[in-house]
Amino acid sequence: MPFDVYLNVAVGGILTGLVYGLMALGLSVIFGVVRVVNFAHGEMMTIAMFIAVVAFSAFHLDPLIMLIPIAAVLFALGYALQTGVINPFVTRPEHAQFLLMVALAIIISNALLIMFGPDARSVQTAYAFDSYQIGALIIDASKLYAGAAAIVFTAALFAFFRLMLLGKAIRACADNHTGAQVVGLDVKRLYALTFGIGAACVGAAGVMLTLIVDTTPLIGPSYTLLAFVIVITGGLGSLPGALLGGLLIGLTEALAGLTFSPSLKSMFAFAILVLVLLFRPQGILGRRLS
Amino acid sequence: MARLAAGLSPRSAALLGALFAVLVAAPFIINDYLLTVLIIILYFAYAGQAWNIMMGFAGQLSLGHAIYLGLAGYVAATLYVLLGVGPWLGLLAAIPICAACGAIIGFLAFRFGVAGVYFAILTIAFAEFARIGFDNWKFVNASSGLFLPVKQYAHNDLWRLRGDPTMFYYVILAATALLFMLCHLLLRSRMGYFWLAIREDEQAARATGIDTFRYKMYAVMISAAVTSFAGVFYAFFYNNLFPEQVFSISRSIEIILGPVIGGVGTLFGPILGAFVLTGLAEALNSAMTALGIDLPGATQVFYGICLLLVVAGLPDGVWPPLARRLGVGGSKK
Amino acid sequence: MTALLAVAAVSKRFRGLVAVDQVSFAVPPGAIFAVIGPNGAGKTTLFNMIAGAMAPDDGAISFAGEAIEGLPADAVCRRGIARTFQIVRPFPALSVEDNVTIGALQRHHEVEAARTQARSVLHRLDLFDKRHRIAATLTLPDRKRLEVARALATEPRLLLLDETMAGLRPTETDRMVEVLRALNRDDGLTILLIEHVMRAVMALASHVLVLDHGVVIASGAPEAVVRDPAVVQSYLGAEAV
């Protein structure tokens, strides 16, 4: 196959990978701070995707315009979830928390199925079939905008954690739970905020994804797993790692889909997961666990 | 028989005997629809108990048990469709394949220190890998599915598992009873004690001289091997296999619902959980049909809510408090 | 007399911090050997290396003439070294009897035989009456005795006790001392113990090793060690003498 086909697919994969990275960032933030393995991550994203799709079909609102409002809705949802449902489980054993999230995931995805039916929905924006050409490179407009939005959102997130006091407080919480309490940080509120932020990330990523893929109620689990693969590959506890993992997975997925068969591309993500778990369990940028 | 009865209080033995008697008599009492419901209940009781060996006894959380269902189902079904090999022989082929698969997963996880939630994620990854793989494998008809030939038979063919619901019922009843007895024996064996130690505190178990790697491997392999029967039964009962369905994470989650709701680690939990869950689900379905409501996904929402309630309110499951009321123990041993 | 346990120039580093620095000593069979020293001296790290919970970076450990450094914890236990933990760890959801039976199953492969052995150990540690209680419901002193019972059930030649007296009242400490003394005297069980409770050390030990900052600063008979100026300065304080 000619080189430019590979190049175009690779670039498309990288752009998609930026969105994956944002999705995984949400998971990483939640796990790094609240220490909950959010099995309902993909389902939260599906909620955001459906809001975007419905807003588009009812009011012709471009998903990218709805980005901030939907992220805000997901923030509120995540905050409420942590405060109301998950917080009582903080002292329970790991697998109990995990099963709680599994239960939530089942309820959400099937509730969406009841509400919207199993058919796929897509967002056909005005620019859905546009593309930009730079030399031999042809880039889908949708993917370009989605990728750009992802970069902006991610940059804002990083700025928040580095520069704002609240962001630093959350990082302190992640680093040292007891120490954070000792210096007077309201850990419960910070947990809720963090879950909200994580949910907002995954909601934003979902909105961007509506430009790239179709929306169905049951796609949650595969994206939850993808997010886990990315976070584990990039490195637990490392935000840049989640981004790097996203890019890597987006790229390999796209190239694998091209080289072998589109339906096999998910298999590569899992193969990577197994390899990472076996040979470099801390991930590419993660710190080695003692 | 005496060895089996050992460790069971007279009261437990009596209750168990009564339950078994009722179950044996069931086909003569209830109609075909209810019989099918019972078959499904017993199927989940069986699969849940098989899963329980890994989780309840040895503490390893598997959320990808569907892989064993699918592998076994496809092995047996393919042998039947292509070579006319009966399911019981197909089972003989499926068991080592499932055990080997379990061994691979176990080895990769345990040698490299993948534990807890990460182990669960690894099992999900393997099941998904199998799902996508089979979905694209022309040899087994990929996503179009594999169909077993069904004809109207004049009589039940036990050898080929072709027949009416009553035949399937007794097969699954016998299997569940045998598995129950096997688990009872396992729990009272040296290996069973070592599993409990590993489940309780793996490091302390090692300090007490237990080779935890070896025993965890045994748990995974035995659980996988035993689950294979459920896969074969599934294939021959439903007569079709779609990778999308049989390897789906929904199957894996359905398997764990019974034990989690009934009581992980207890002997009777998975059976009770299967009765409660499937029984209630069927009641819900019947009610909805009667009211003319058709909501695909409602059963799953119901399962999710049950799981939520049990995890939140009854962390040890429904069986232990019930067992105490009945005066039959119900501890985790 | 050849030592039962010989530790030769063993070291352990944790990312730049030297926890144990070239420590050597030998424990003769039948001895009760105490390791004392301030917190952070490296005592538990030393124990963990002997018991197989971690491997030393340098040095050699031999037990009954066989090299055991780097062996995993379960292999070490099967060779005849049993241990207890500083923060007590019985199997919480299991009964007292089941806890000890699991230990006994190391040497007795038949469950009934193991159970019989477990019961006799429970008698010796005065836990027989509580054998059906669930471990998590026991008091701290009882859980400590349970852990010792579980370790004893594996029929070790050397018992490693990590701060077993911590948190016990003086009467309970005396009881435990009596039990250990009886095991040493009647069964010839060699005991290596980490202790802060000097009352127990003086009552039990035939030999004391003092660690500070990973280094041996004194070694010898209890009475002599306790008066050693270096030991007094770094650990005991003048009032203890």
Q: What is the pLDDT of residue A213?
A: 87
Q: What is the pLDDT of residue C209?
A: 93
Lowest mean pLDDT among B198-207, B297-306, C173-182: B297-306
User: What's the total number of domains in chain B?
Assistant: 1
Phi, psi of A127 (to 5 degrees): -100, 15
3-state helix/strand/coil string of A245-273: HHHHHHHHHHHHHHHCCHHHHHHHHHHHH
CB-nearest partner of B193 from C93, C102, C151 = C102
CB contact at 8 A, B204 and C91? yes
Expressed as residue numbers, the domain containing B67 is 10-326
What is the average pLDDT across A77-90?
A: 86
| Predicted confidence (pLDDT) at residue A220 exceeds the cutoff of 50 | yes
* E strand map for chain C: 5-14, 17-27, 32-36, 58-63, 66-67, 81-83, 158-162, 190-194, 207-212, 215-220
Quote the minimal CA–CA distance from C99 to chain B in Å.
8
B134 Cβ contact list (under 8 Å, min separation 6): B70, B74, B140, B142, B243, B247
Instruction: Please give the Cα distance from B72 to B96 (Å, whole number).
Output: 10
Q: Which residues of A touch B (CB under 8 A)?
A: 37, 88-89, 92, 94-96, 98-100, 102-107, 109-111, 113-114, 118, 217, 221-222, 225, 228-229, 232, 261, 263-264, 266-267, 270-271, 273-274, 277-279, 281
CB-nearest partner of A99 from B249, B298, B307 = B307
> Residue A48 domain-assigned?
yes
Q: For residue B330, what pLDDT band results from cuts at 50, 70 and 90?
A: low
Q: Which chain B residues have a beta carbon less than 8 Å from that of C75?
A: 211
Q: For residue A206, what pLDDT band results from cuts at 50, 70 and 90?
A: very high
Expressed as residue numbers, the domain containing A174 is 3-221
Residue ranges in A117-186 assigned as alpha helix (H): 141-163, 165-175, 177-182
From residue C15, alpha-carbon distances to A282, C18, C71 in Å are 17, 8, 22
Q: What is the pLDDT of residue B4?
A: 55
> Residue B332 domain-assigned?
no
> Residue B3 domain-assigned?
no
CA-based nearest residue in chain A for residue B301:
A107
CB contact at 8 A, A149 and A67? yes
Quote the minimal CA–CA distance from C190 to chain B in Å.
17
The predicted complex's ipTM stands at 0.91
CB contact at 8 A, A29 and A239? yes
Residue ranges in A35-140 assigned as alpha helix (H): 41-59, 63-81, 94-116
Q: Which chain B residues have a beta carbon less than 8 Å from that of C100?
A: none
Instruction: Please give the Cα distance from A144 to A151 (Å, whole number).
Output: 11
CB atoms within 10 A of CB A114: 14
Domains of chain C and any CATH numbers: 1-80+156-241 (3.40.50.300), 87-155 (no CATH)
Q: Is B16 on the interface with A (CB under 8 A)?
A: no
C232 Cβ contact list (under 8 Å, min separation 6): C226, C238, C240, C241
| Predicted confidence (pLDDT) at residue B228 exceeds the cutoff of 90 | yes
Q: Which chain B residues have a beta carbon less than 8 Å from that of C106?
A: 208-210
CA terminus-to-terminus distance, chain C = 32
| Two tokens, residue A84 | 């109301």
> Residue B227 domain-assigned?
yes
CA-angle at A21, arms to A19 and A22, nearest 5°: 65
Q: What is the pLDDT of residue B105?
A: 92
User: What's the total number of domains in chain A?
Assistant: 1
